[in-house]
Amino acid sequence: KQPLSIVKMKQMKEKNEPITMVTAYDYPSAALVEEAGVDMILVGDSLGNVVLGYDSTLPVTIDDMVYHTRAVRRGAPNTFVVADMPFMTYNSTVSETLSGVRRLMQEGHANAVKMEGGVEIALMVDACTKAGVPVVGHIGLTPQAVHQIGGYRIQGKTREDAERLLQDALALERAGACAVVLELVTEQVAEMISKKLSIPTIGIGAGSVTDGQVLVFHDILKYTPSYREKRFVKTYADLGAVIRDSVSQYVKEVKGRSFPAPEHTFRADDQVLESLYG
């Protein structure tokens, strides 16, 4: 199968063929996700929450993103990989933005970068696009702005909010973005934006009308110590329970000396044994 490109992404939108995206943060998850046939992998800064144990994405650094993106690329050499630009790395100067983007592309081997924001980041999206780097925009609930938004709440409920989201999406498209993530926005707003843009929209908590869908790997697999139900997530497995039960079984068997059993054990000839004990 041909890996996705930004050209193919747009053709999929035109053909109304849903684009699938899931996050991954390391080698085995990326390899399994590639085998599962996903169109795009997102190395999200959600790794701050789901693999590093922070309570937001704010502490994630460009070094963290490069490190995880490199591992994902080793696991998924044939999948389109998008890497998140972390908090405060694309808001000051174009040159600082481009130096972070350069690292994600050259050291992390990403195919594209993602940035949160609309009108206010259009200049940075334009600069990256002119440098040959595809940019995915991200509007609606933008977790890096959690302290400004005041929590993780649904966007696009009022007329003014809907209009603002549309202007943000259009600004991203004009600046050259190759796709836009819509996070936690009402279905009507997601549909309106998806129809007005020529580039694909990728939804999370945005209903079924977007051109693609993205979810967090650890969410769909319940691969987390204390999973909190989220209405927009469907869980397809309970890896948390599988891991907890399997490891506790291992502990029990070691304590009870039933592991290792003879089949896990190597033996020398009896003659060797005699010589060992003299």
Write down the least CB distance from residue 23 to Na ion, Å.
8
Following DSSP, what letter does each residue of 176-203 receive, concatenated? T-SEEEEESB-HHHHHHHHHH-SSPEEE
State the binding string over 127-156 for ligand KIV (x if CB under 6 A, else -): -----------x------------------
Which 219-278 positions form the footprint of ligand KIV (CB under 6 A)? none
Under the binding rule (CB under 6 A), the answer on residue 204 touching ligand KIV is yes
Residues that bind Na ion (CB under 5 A): 44-45, 84
Nearer CB in complex with ligand KIV: 82/166? 82
How is residue 115 annotated by DSSP?
Answer: E
Q: What residues form DSSP beta bridges with 183?
A: 140, 204
Cβ atoms of residues 77 and 249 within 8 Å: no
Dihedral of CA atoms 134, 101, 58, 142 in degrees, nearest 10, equals: -20
Under the binding rule (CB under 6 A), the answer on residue 89 touching ligand KIV is no
Alpha-helical segments (H) within the chain: 6-14, 27-35, 47-50, 62-75, 94-106, 122-130, 146-149, 159-175, 187-196, 217-220, 239-255, 270-277
User: Is 263 part of the annotated catalytic residue set?
Assistant: no
Report the C-alpha gap between 141 and 165 in whole angstroms: 10
Backbone angles phi, psi at 215, to 5 degrees: -140, 165
The residue from 183, 200, 218, 223 that contacts ligand KIV (CB under 6 A) is 183
Longest dimension (CA), the chain: 89
Under the binding rule (CB under 6 A), the answer on residue 216 touching ligand KIV is yes
Of 34, 173, 183, 191, catalytic? 183
Write down the least CB distance from residue 238 to ligand KIV, Å.
20
Nearer CB in complex with ligand KIV: 239/260? 239
Report the C-alpha gap between 144 and 261 in whole angstroms: 50
Write down the least CB distance from residue 57 to Na ion, Å.
6
Residue of closest CB approach to ligand KIV: 44
Under the binding rule (CB under 6 A), the answer on residue 118 touching ligand KIV is no
Nearer CB in complex with ligand KIV: 23/186? 23
Residues carrying an active site annotation: 183
Query: What is the binding site for ligand KIV (CB under 6 A)?
Result: 23, 42, 44-46, 84, 138, 181, 183, 204, 214, 216
